Structure 1
Amino acid sequence: MLNASKIKNTLRPGLVGGLMSLAGTALGAGDIEFNTDVLDLNDRSNIDLSRFARGGFILPGTYTMFVQINGQPISEQAVAFYPPEDDPKGSQACVSPALVEQLGLKASDAARLTAWKDGECLDLQGLPGAQVSADLATSTLDINLPHAYLEYSALNWDPPARWDEGVPGLLVDYNLTAQSNAQKNERTRNHLSGNGTLGANAGAWRLRADWQGRVDSARDRSAGEQKLEWSRYYAYRAIPSLKARLVVGENYLYSDLFDSFRFTGAALNSDESQLPPNLRGYAPEVVGVAKTNARVVVSQQGRVLYETLVAAGPFRIQDLNDAVTGTLDVRVEEQDGSVQTFKLNTAGVPYLTRPGQVRYKLATGRPSDLQYGADGNFFGTGEFSWGISNGWSLFGGAITDNNYRAATVGAGRDLLALGALSLDVTQSHANVWNQTLSGKSYRLQYSKNFEQYDSQVTFAGYRFSDKNFLSMSEYLDARHYGMNGELAGRGKYDEFGQYAGEFKPIGGNKALYTATVNKQFRDLGATVYASYNKQTYWSRPASQRWNLSVSRYFNVGTVKNMSLSLNVYRTQDYNYKDNGMALTVSLPLGRSGTLSLDANRTAGKNGFSTRYSDRLDERNSYQLSASDNSASGYLSHTGEQADLTLAASRQQGNTSLSMSARGGGTLTRHGAALHRTGSMGGTRLMVDTSGVADVPVRGYGTPTRSNAFGKAVIADLSSYQRTAASVDLERLPKNVEATQSVTQVTLTEGAIGYRSLEVISGEKAMAVLRLSDGSAPPFGAQVKNANQQDTGIVNDGGSVYLSGIQAGEQMFVSWGERSRCVLTLPQALPADGLTHALQLDCRMAATDQTLSSPAELTGKPTATEHTSS
């Protein structure tokens, strides 16, 4: 009886190692002959070493190779090798103009390259220090270039020539939340809400439709018990040559100079996400404290941007889109029925631009409203920022319609080690309700990026506005609701159907203060996060929101990694006030658990609770909480097809149950799959595992497994950044082998990428091959399956360790220039397993005992075969 695993471990390494050692001694030689006496073989005349016969030389032809620049993979593509003009017997890799474009060279350096082979190839030797080398054994072409020649070099960032627009397809993403509250002596109140995106991709275009809705079984008012609305229809695409994004349809004005409002039209904006990472802005953060398991909804002008369930205790939402600007509405709905609401003014870094570059944003259309549709005159707006030197940027812009116009001009200064500063002034002029209002608004912004402290950001901003200054959105509100907000009931109910207080006059903003500090003190093991927003008005009370979060890790005796955290906040908005505080002491308990003791004060009430949180495994985590009058539980599950959250609580006889599900589905011509999702309608990668099911693949997070059709979708991807998708080799099922386990791709925003990984499924066993005349295929012959995947290399005497054995299927053995034979696997594999070597006949593929390619039998091309020149 043969020990197959032992033979596998010794046969292939010995064979490949011996061949590599032979080839290694011959590097740099011209014509090479192997000394076959060093090989322990019975028949040295029956050997095929043609694939190993030349060291440092590649036979002229075209090969499929993995191209790498400075050690970073670019893509797999066809590379031609030609004899150089000064060495007819040699060969040199042809670096085509298309490949040079993918290298990201500066335009001045790319112009220095000389052409050869009638312009088909470019010679990188014109750049001192540049090197090009090829390794046929690993099918790689290595290009090494000094960074001085590259336009920009950053980890995981690629120039536009390497971006992938993806494949055509359809997608549907959703986020659903269901809640049921049973209160004493009252009927049960059920609530279902959700939002999501339907989309289609065609070439570079992304077509999207966003929806949001809710259903309530019991409300104080009859109106609004159920509602489903399409919040916007739009299409967009990237324009890499302009580093810009074109959007047509229903959209929101995302401006660095003017406030945001909804409109229907077109916008062309410089896209920061297409820039290298350290030239981009950052997304707003929402920080707060939940008394119980709570639903957090972040919206803007009635459109839901983000909705999630959070466990009791402090929460921090950091995955909002970095394109979001303006004022956000945050609503925290506790399971005991109480509600926290506050507004958050998003902070932006000073409007600075790299020297010699211009960033711009253009838009035109008609203002629109979720409830009333198009509502207003056609408008146009444009803004720019010009980097006039290493330190200075000049920026400005204007917006206008028939009765409103505003213009902004400003300057920004890079203070190097001291940070960055910008100052601008806006003049507005509005004709509304037979009134003419004119005023100015001044803004000062400062920021500093502490790269030595994990790229933490400090931001501070101040804006002062005259009494008669109106922004565009305030002007639109005044046209629709009146200057005092009395028309159409402005201010009476918010987008959730909840009473929002008295009518508020429109405009009248006086001063806005914003500050955000986020810093780590590594020596102290402490982290500090603080944010402050305050808006004062000319004719009504001020509104403000400040939040302070301090945490520190420390040790007490033998107890390690304890933590102490303090979260304090204050919210004041017109006639609504809320103060809160939470002090938490946490200590590790068990293998991965954490026990926390909380003392909190919210809405004028003190509370004490104990929480225990732990991870069951990589996919499941939970939290249990108890206090003097309540108990709650929270379970989070990262599934194959969706992320699920369950929450339950009981407080003074009131019971609450909640559940949320977040996921999506993607359909392309290559197949379809249900999956977890990141941002709604966002970028994703479909991975084809060669039709093999249950293969674990991962991006950055928890792996997902391929479905019954061998398809899996990874949605935790960033746009315009190089992303690796890989097979989780440690979790591969039995009898599944990945011959190619990693692929890399850089996708544009909203793209559906597609990549195929070489995965072989089937039994593994030793086999002995015999030709029709009783002889064996030569040593070194290759064995492939019908998908042209390598399944073995023939050893001495025709023995071979085969993988991917499927009953009744055929495999193909090739050697030399044209010799091929076909072996057919048994229709029924042995019931006791493949513990003995299989005796297989290999039938010559044609009457002349030659065959030009296995593709003649299967109809499939051979990826590894080359065409000689």
Structure 2
Amino acid sequence: MCLSTRAGARPGHPCAQRRRGGAWAPGILLLVLMATAGAGGEQQDSVRFDVKMLVRGVGDEQIDLSRFERPNIVSPGQYRVDVHVNGRWRGALAMDFRGSGPEGAQPCYTAELLRSVGIDMDKIGRNAAERSERTLGDVPVCDGLASYVPGAQVKFDMAEQTLSLTVPAYYLDSGNAGTYVDPAYWDRGITAARLGYTTNLYTQETNGQRRSRGYLSLSGVLNAGAWRLRHDGYASWSSRTGTTYQRGQLYAVTDLPAWRSQLLLGETSTDGRYFDAVSFRGVRLSSDERMLPDDRRGYVPTIRGTARSNAAVSVYQRGFLVYETTVAPGPFAIEDLGAASYGGDLTVRVTEADGQAWSFIVPFATAVDLLRPGETRYSVSVGQAMASGYRSSGQRVFEGVVRTGLSDLITGYGGLAFSDYYSSVLAGAALNTRLGAFSGDATVARAHLPGGRTSGSSYRVSYSKNLPNSGTNFSLLAYRYSTSGFVGLNEAIALRDAPHVGGYGDLGRLRNRLDTYINQDLGGNGSMYLNGSALQYWNRPGSALNYSVGYRSSLGRVSYALSLQRVHALSAGGLYTPNRGRSTVVTLNLSIPLGSGSSAAAPMFSSYTSHSNLSGTDSAVAVSGALGDTGRLNYSLSASRSSRADTSTASGNLDYRASVANVGASVSQGSGYRQAGLRAQGNVLAHAGGVTLSSSLGETVGLVRAPDAEDARVGMDRGSRVDGRGYGLAANLAPYRLNTVELDPADMADDVELLASSRSVAPRAGAVVLLDYPTRRARPVLVSVRQPDGGVLPFGAEVFDLASGESVGAVGQGSRIVMRVRDDQGEIRVQWGPDAAQRCRVGYRLPPRQGRQDGFDMLDAVCEPEPEPPPPAVGSPVAGLLP
């Protein structure tokens, strides 16, 4: 019963010789396959093994391989299974399995169950009636799905607890096609609290004078039931002005699945799609297209610019700071403005390391959108308007808009907007034509302003078109205010709340506005773009003009981009007071990979040169890349030169992406100044199991719970891993859509086994959903075992743990056993037939665990014959009979 005590056995372990091995890898793989051959799988026809083809080690006796011939036998009972229809997950259901016999228990179905997973039971019922066949009802039936759904096939994987249904496409509910998940399976998540933070510390010294500033953005969310309470805030600190705190939005929101809508209570802004976006405190009820089978996502523009040094970039919308970050010298792009609303221009302020600052405006208007016939979208907002800083203005506001698809050609829309001193009505339509999508609307407004009453009307025409054959994608949005008396809701509220404004005559009254966005793909010759806006006022001379045109391409391994930006009379300060300054900037960017290969971590050389009629010529060169195999540590070194200021600057940046936070540092030195900065971004999630940290979290989050699975990678995110307490985060899940989150066990300890590596879920928006991955802690052991006479054990003999009775492995080639055991010592039974002579025992003792285990424990053993059970005592009762 004891392991072999041949020479070389470790002291203190007389029954075992433990080895670490790498040369056994091919054999181990084969043994693992054998050990798991009967663990589970799809239901299939039985198979027969020819035992004559197997090498047997004990005489000529036959080996019992019957357990491999009928895999996946299910016992009667109720199981919670993941249901897949035609390869797509449809939900996790509690299903009954009934019946007995050679095939095992079979799943039971009702009409409601099949309807819930996307099968059109009405169509099946009509076909059954025509053929006088049986149909499903409320009483579960367990005699095969194909009897009720023609052509259906069923496979159940007992090990993965997965029921796969294959159904002819004709019988699928068209409303459940694509990526749609039935609302009954939307997961509202668990109770949790999370806090996202972004901090930026910035100090500069110019001519011996030091200035420092700091910025902290906080976003807190409390999830309880179906509700989410959110608060945003921004704190800033300056060595000159001290500390200030700007309170952001505070609201509670929940979704209404039956209405496909979101209900929000608190501080937010109106829709902004057709009327001005107005900040208010109150109630907003709006349809949420993400809940629909063919949802359309909102649009947020990408902010592009070029910084001369390590610069702070601040983004404002309607006077509120919505984003701030630090960028390295050279071109930058900001693509994560998730907090921006549907509309309202973005003012971008760039503060260079030497203190110089400049601003520009990014137009933000939504494009034409059409609806299918019979589809309706709406938004209703009512409450009290708020001024800058979320202070109440005292004015009541109401806005309601509705869109409905009248036909394949026409979508109609309209709306009302009111305040205490303002009213407006809008009506319009969108057309889908072969020439493109058109929309047009008219708005009539009346306002009671400090300078008197006024009224007017506004007419708007929009056009968008995608030309796939030519690679052109453009939209042209034109707003024309036909009368000088027209005023928008936001302007009317601002004039009532701004006592320093003399009256309506001081308002810059917009007459015409033209926005254009054009992108042209030139195939192998690169691409071009043209973005711009032009504004004219009734009471202001000239035009406000802002446009940029650019060309991007590559020549061999060299990528280059040429752009021209023209700015004239941009809005700055006050209410539409035009700045008559003009600027023209021409920029050339080059990027050249250094070294060979296509690794993302390879160094990259880049340069840019720009010329401005205001600031002269600026140029810079930089080398950037990533260090380490994981690519988490990124660096950049740059040098820049400004001709007008006659200054040179050297800069360096480091960014590290850890699983718990992103951190970075920057330094630069130039003529007469020095600059240094620190930044950090991360998230804290508190839940019933403790606190979990993450470098980034989206709106909707998956909380992974996998006990003992430390270092398992979550999904495709290289920076997200399971922590030491068994928790990890899937940072960005798509709400109301099927999400499959997989764990990669490659970096886990070898004594931990994932019993399930994949989970599917359809979360509600903003939810924190719990994803459970069962694990088993069992030490992997490779045992070289022999009979007492030195003979080998039969190939395929099954191995059982005597303490638990579980099957833990099988005998492979060369009389080797790969098994997983939970205890450091115990006994296993090797069995290859029903007789006592066809089994033996092995006792094992493993060295104590010392932290994380990587690799197999390797043992030599002798399998001793199992002793015969003692005969019953004289006079003892016969089994099954009472004395």
**Pairwise TM-score range, normalised by the shorter structure:** 0.7 to 0.9
1:331 aligns with 2:349: yes
Secondary structure at 2:524 match in 1: coil
Residue 759 of structure 1 deviates from its aligned partner by: 4.4
For 1:609, the equivalent position in structure 2 comes to 620
Q: Is the contact between residue 246 and residue 266 of structure 1 (CA under 8 Å) also seen in structure 2?
A: yes
Letter in 1 for 2:654: L
- Deviation string, structure 1 residues 144-173 (Cα, Å, up to 9, x no partner): 345563435776553434432221111111
Deviation at 1:118, TM superposition (A): 1.2
Residue 202 of structure 2 aligns to a residue whose secondary structure is strand
**How far apart are 1:180 and its partner, in Å?**
0.5
Give the distance between the partners of 1:27 and 1:266, measured in 2 at CA: 57
Say whether residues 1:185 and 2:204 are aligned partners.
no
Q: Name the structure 2 match of 1:94.
A: 108
For 1:783 and 1:399, locate their aligned partners in 2 and report how far apart those are by CA, in whole Å: 75
* Residue 587, structure 1, aligned to residue 592, structure 2: yes
Query: Which runs of structure 2 are paired with 1:215-364 in the superposition (5 Å)?
Result: 215-218=237-240, 222=241, 225-276=242-293, 279-321=296-338, 323-364=341-382
Q: Which amino acid aligns with 1:509?
A: L
CA distance 1:419–1:808, shift in 2 (3 Å) = farther
Of 401, 405, 409 in structure 2, the residue corresponding to residue 387 of structure 1 is 405
Structure 1 equivalent of residue 609 of structure 2: 599
Q: 1:621 aligns with which of 634, 658, 662?
A: 634
Contact 2:395 2:493 in 1 (8 A): no
Percent sequence identity is 24
Tell me how far apart the structure 2 counterparts of residues 566 and 65 of structure 1 sit (CA, whole Å): 56
Note closer, same or farther for the CA distance 1:201–1:475 as it changes in structure 2 (3 Å cut).
same
- 1:513 aligns with 514
Which residue of structure 2 lines up, in the alignment, with residue 752 of structure 1?
768
Aligned residue type for 2:808: G
Distance 1:371 1:251 in 2: 12
- Aligned-partner Cα distance in 2 for 1:589–1:839: 60
Q: Determine the structure 2 residue equivalent to 1:470.
A: 487
Q: Is the 8 A contact 1:244 1:271 kept in 2?
A: yes
Structure 1 runs not aligned, ≥5 long = 488-502, 556-560, 848-869
Task: Assess, with a 3 A threshold, how the Cα gap between structure 1 residues 578 and 106 changes in structure 2: closer, same or farther.
Answer: farther
Q: Measure the CA separation in 2 of the matches of 1:451 and 1:791.
A: 60
Contact 1:470–1:507 (CA under 8 A) maintained in structure 2: no
Task: Write the distance in 1 (CA, Å) between the matches of 2:347 and 2:723.
Answer: 39
Question: What is the deviation of 1:716?
Answer: 3.3
1:549 paired to 2:571: no
Per-residue deviation, residues 614-633 of structure 1 (Å, max 9, x unmatched): 22242122222113411112
Counterpart in 1 of 2:540? 540
Q: 1:820-850 CA deviation, whole Å, 9 max, x = no partner? A: x999965736999833247899999xx9xxx
Q: Which amino acid aligns with 1:689?
A: A
CA distance in 1, matches of 2:357, 2:71: 73
Instruction: Work out the CA distance in 1 between the residues paired with 2:866 and 2:692.
Output: 40
1:171 aligns with 2:171: no
CA contact (8 A) 2:281 2:386 kept: yes
Q: Distance in 2 between matches of 1:809 and 1:473?
A: 78
Separation in structure 2 between the aligned mates of residue 169 and residue 841 of structure 1, nearest angstrom: 55
| Per-residue CA distance 1:49-108 (angstroms, 9 max, x = gap) | 55x554797565434444222223345544333469xx9999653345665455345696
Do the aligned residues in 2 keep the contact of 1:28 with 1:56 (CA within 8 Å)?
no
Q: Which residue of 2 aligns with 1:766?
A: 782
Residues 1:125 and 1:550: Cα distance change in structure 2 (over 3 Å): farther
* Contact 1:529–1:550 (8 Å) recurs in 2: yes
Does 2:136 match 1:115? yes
Q: Distance in 2 between matches of 1:305 and 1:125?
A: 60
What per-residue deviation string (whole Å, max 9, x for no partner) do you get for residues 157-202 of structure 1?
534344322211111111111101111132x111101212111101
Please give the alpha-carbon distance, in whole angstroms, between the structure 1 residues aligned to 2:513 and 2:451. Answer: 28
- The 1:838/1:476 distance shift into structure 2, 3 A limit, reads farther
Matched residues in 2 for 1:695 and 1:372: separation? 44
Amino acid at match of 2:437: A
- Alpha-carbon shift at residue 452 of structure 1 (Å): 7.5
Q: 2:536 is paired with a residue of what secondary structure?
A: strand
Pairing partner for 1:210 from 222, 228, 232: 232
Task: Work out the CA distance in 2 between the residues paired with 1:248 and 1:392.
Answer: 33
Change in CA separation of 1:627 and 1:281 when aligned onto 2, cut-off 3 Å = closer
Per the alignment, do residues 144 and 308 of structure 1 end up closer, same or farther by CA in structure 2, a change over 3 Å counting?
A: farther
User: What is the alpha-carbon distance in structure 2 between the residues aligned to residue 841 and residue 398 of structure 1?
Assistant: 89
Match of 2:559 in 1: 563
Q: Compute the RMSD of aligned alpha carbons.
A: 4.4
Give 2:28's aligned amino acid: K
Quote the residue 2:222 is aligned against.
200
Give CA deviations for 1:97-142 in whole Å, capped at 9, x if unaligned: 6654553456965876942461578968766655443344654322
CA contact (8 A) 1:245 1:269 kept: yes
Per the alignment, residue 818 of structure 2 pairs with: 801
Taking the aligned partners of 1:719 and 1:660, their CA distance within structure 2 comes to 30
Distance 2:267 2:802 in 1: 53
The whole-number CA distance in structure 2 between the counterparts of 1:815 and 1:537 is: 93
Structure 2 match to 1:857: none
- Cα displacement (A) at 1:212: 0.7
Change (3 A) 1:152 1:183: farther
Match of 1:854 in 2: none
Q: 1:672 aligns with which of 691, 703, 707?
A: 691
**Equivalents in 2 of 1:202, 1:815: separation in Å?**
56
**Structure 2 match to 1:446:** 463
Q: Kindly report which structure 2 residues correspond to 1:837-856, keeping only aligned pairs within 5 A, or say none.
A: 837=860
CA contact (8 A) 2:842 2:862 kept: no
Provide the C-alpha distance between the structure 1 equivalents of 2:90 and 2:501, rounded to a whole number of angstroms.
57
Amino acid in structure 2 at the alignment position of 1:165? R
What secondary structure is seen at the aligned counterpart in 2 of 1:279? coil
**Which residue among 808, 815, 828 is the counterpart of 1:792?**
808
- Counterpart of 1:599 in structure 2: which amino acid? T
What's the secondary structure of 2:740's corresponding residue? Answer: strand
1:639-718 matches, cutoff 5 A: 639-679=658-698, 682-699=699-716, 701-718=717-734
For the residue of structure 2 that corresponds to 1:375, the secondary structure is: strand
Query: In 1, Cα distance between the equivalents of 2:197 and 2:304?
Result: 24
Structure 1 length-normalised TM? 0.81
Q: What secondary structure, in the 3-state scheme, does the structure 2 residue paired with 1:428 have?
A: strand
Q: Secondary structure at the match of 1:376?
A: strand
Q: For the Cα contact (< 8 Å) 1:102–1:162, is it kept in 2? A: no
Q: Is the 8 A contact 1:125 1:131 kept in 2?
A: no
Q: Does 1:720 align with 2:736?
A: yes
CA contact (8 A) 2:89 2:738 kept: no
Measure the CA separation in 1 of the matches of 2:226 and 2:183.
Answer: 13
**SS of residue matched to 2:857:** coil
Distance 1:529 1:566 in 2: 11
Question: Deviation digits for residues 311-353 of structure 1, max 9, x if unmatched?
Answer: 2222222222375322222222221212122233312121311
Residue type of the alignment partner of 2:554: Y
The unaligned stretches of length 5 or more in structure 2 are 1-16, 129-134, 572-577, 597-601, 642-647, 787-792, 834-840, 871-883
Q: Matched residue of 1:705: which SS?
A: coil
Report 1 or 2 for greater relative contact order, CA contacts < 8 Å, sequence distance ≥ 6. Answer: 2
**CA distance in structure 2 between the partners assigned to 1:480 and 1:115 by the alignment:** 66
Q: 1:807 to 1:785 in 2, by over 3 A?
A: same
2:426 corresponds to 1:408: yes
What TM-score comes out, normalization by structure 2 length?
Answer: 0.80
CA 69–401 in structure 1, closer or farther in 2 if over 3 Å, else same: same
1:539 partner amino acid: N
Which amino acid is 2:636 matched to?
Q
